[in-house]
A = this chain, B = another copy of it.
Amino acid sequence: MDVLTEGTAEYLKVDPDGFREWVRDHKSRALVSKLVSEQEAVERLVADGDYFVFDCAEAMRGPMSLIREIIRQRKKDLWIAGKFTFFIPSMLVAAGCVSKADMGFFLGWGSVINKAVQEGTLKVYEYGNTVMTMRLKAGAMGLPYMPMRILGGTDTFRYSAGKIIDDPFTGEPMVAMPALNPDVAVIHVHQADVYGNARVFGTGIAHVESALASRKVIISTEEIIETEEFRRDPGRTSIPYYAVDAVVHAPFGAYPGECAGYYASDPGAIIEMGAADKLDAWDAYLEKWVYGVASQDEMMEELVGMTKLRGLIQRATIKEGYRA
C-alpha cells in the first residue's frame, strides 16, 4: 500500500490476530461471576507497563474509584489514552504511574506534565479526542486501522502514528490511524450484572469501544442488577458480558464527578483537583484522597460524609433517560 505521509509517533503494536487469540484464551463466554473488590480487580488486571484506557473524565462518569486504586497500588509505566480528560493525566503522572501518553485533551493548569516530559520520564504523542475514539473503534471492530476524514495536514497528525494512504476505490488521499487495543480498560457504568453485562445511560465517549477493544476490562458499577433485568430489556445493554473481565460494585465510583441520573458532581472537590494541578500540589492531594484512605468506601465515609452525599444525590433531579 502506498503510504504518502506518515506521522512519527511510536504506537502500540497493531495485531488483530494476536488480539483474537487473547480473546479466545482469556475471556469467558460462560456466564461466570466476575464480581471482585476494587483492590483485587486492579491487582489482578492492571500490570505495570500496560496500555491503559479509561472512559470519561473526573467530572463526568469517570471511573474514579478505580483510578484512585491504581494510584494507591502504585502501578508504574502505564501508557495512557488521554482522550476527553481534565486533570486525570496530570494526577496519574504526578503519582508516578505514567511513562507514555497519547494525548487528545487534558486540562493542563499546572506543570507536572511539562516537567515530566523535560525530565524524560514521560513521552507524549499527539492526537485529538475523536481520533483516539476512532482508533478504539477500529480496535473494537477487529480491524488493524481506521480510515478517517479528519486531522490530515496538521502537526497533530505529524506527531501521531497516522498515515496518509490513497484510498483504493477513489484514489483520493485518506488518513488512516492504527487501531488501538489497550491492555486494560476501566469503565464506570450505571448498572451491571455479576457477569459483566452492563448498561450506560446518556451520552458517552467510547465506553463500548473501549470495552470491546481491550484485552482486560474492569467495569465499576453504581448498581449490581439481576441478569433477569437485562433479559427484560435487551436493547438497553451497552456492553456484553463476554467482553468483561471484572465487575466492581462501586457506588459513587465517579465521585467527585457526576453520574447522570444518580448523583451530581461535587464542584468543590473537582476544583480541589484543579488547584492541586495549578499549584503543583499533587502530593498533598494524593496523600489526602488516595494514599490516606484504604478504599473507595473509606474515602466516601471519611472525606465526603453522609450529609454531603445526600446533597449530591438530591441535586440529581434529572432522571429522564437514565432509567431502564
Check A144 against B165 for contact (C-beta < 8 Å).
no
A202:B320 contact, CB within 8 angstroms: no
Q: Tell me if A96 is interfacial: C-beta within 8 Å of chain B.
A: no
| Given A142-B149, A147-B144, A321 and B176 contact (CB-CB distance below 8 Å) | no
A157 at the interface (CB under 8 A from B): no
In the complex, the answer to whether B202 meets A1 with C-beta atoms within 8 Å is no
Map CB proximity to B onto A231-262 as digits: 1 under 8 Å, 0 otherwise.
11111100000000000000000000000000
- A14 and B144 CA atoms in complex are apart in Å by 22
- What residues on B are CB-neighbors of A128 within 8 Å? none
Q: Determine the distance from Cα of A27 to Cα of B222 in the docked complex, in whole angstroms.
A: 41
Q: Which residues of B contact A233 (CB under 8 A)?
A: 320-321
Q: Is A170 an interface residue (CB 8 A)?
A: yes
Q: What is the bound-complex CA distance between A16 and B173, given in angstroms? A: 12
Inter-subunit contact A170/B2 (CB<8 Å): no
How many chain copies? 2
Interface size, chain A (Cβ < 8 Å): 36
User: A149–B16 contact, CB under 8 A?
Assistant: yes
With both chains docked as a complex, state the minimum distance between the C-beta of A232 and any C-beta of chain B, in angstroms.
5
Cβ of A143 within 8 Å of any chain B Cβ, yes or no, is: yes
**Cβ-based interface call for A166 (8 A):** yes
Contact of A201 with B14 in the complex, beta carbons under 8 Å? no
Please tell me if the beta carbons of A321 and B169 are within 8 angstroms of each other in the complex.
no
A32 located at the interface, meaning its Cβ lies under 8 Å from any Cβ of chain B in the complex: no
Give the residue of B16, B142, B169, B170 whose beta carbon is less than 8 angstroms from that of A170: B16
For A280-314 the 0/1 string (1 means CB < 8 A from B) is 00000000000000000000000000000000000
A148 at interface (Cβ–Cβ under 8 A)? Answer: yes
Q: Does A167 contact B (CB under 8 A)?
A: yes
Q: Given contacts A143-B149, A149-B142, is CB(A170)–CB(B14) below 8 Å?
A: yes
In chain A, residues 129-186, which have Cβ atoms closer than 8 Å to a Cβ of chain B?
142-145, 147-149, 163, 165-170, 172, 174, 176, 178-179
In this assembly, does A3 line the interface, its C-beta being within 8 Å of a C-beta of chain B? Answer: yes
Complex contact A15–B168 (CB within 8 A):
no
State which of B142, B144, B169, B236 has its C-beta within 8 Å of the C-beta of A169: B144
**Chain B residue at smallest Cβ distance from A199:** B235
- Distance A209 CA – B172 CA, assembled complex (angstroms): 23
In the complex, the chain B residue whose C-beta lies closest to that of A20 is B149
Chain B residues lying within 8 Å of A232, measured Cβ to Cβ, are 320-321
Q: When the two chains form their complex, are residues A165 and B1 in contact, meaning their CB atoms are under 8 A apart? A: yes
CB-defined interface of A73-96 with B at 8 Å, one 1/0 digit per residue? 000000000000000000000000
From B1, B145, B149, B201, give the contact of A1 (CB < 8 A). Answer: B1
Contact across chains for B144 and A148 when beta carbons are under 8 A apart: no
State in angstroms the CA–CA spacing of A2 and B169 once bound together.
12
* Interchain nearest-CB distance for A24 vs B (Å): 14
- Given known A15-B170, A165-B1, contact A145–B142 (CB-CB < 8 A): no
4 additional contacts (CB under 8 A) given A143-B147, A201-B235: A1-B2, A17-B172, A143-B149, A233-B320
Residues of A in contact with B (beta carbons under 8 Å apart): 1-3, 14-17, 142-145, 147-149, 163, 165-170, 172, 174, 176, 178-179, 201-202, 231-236, 320-321
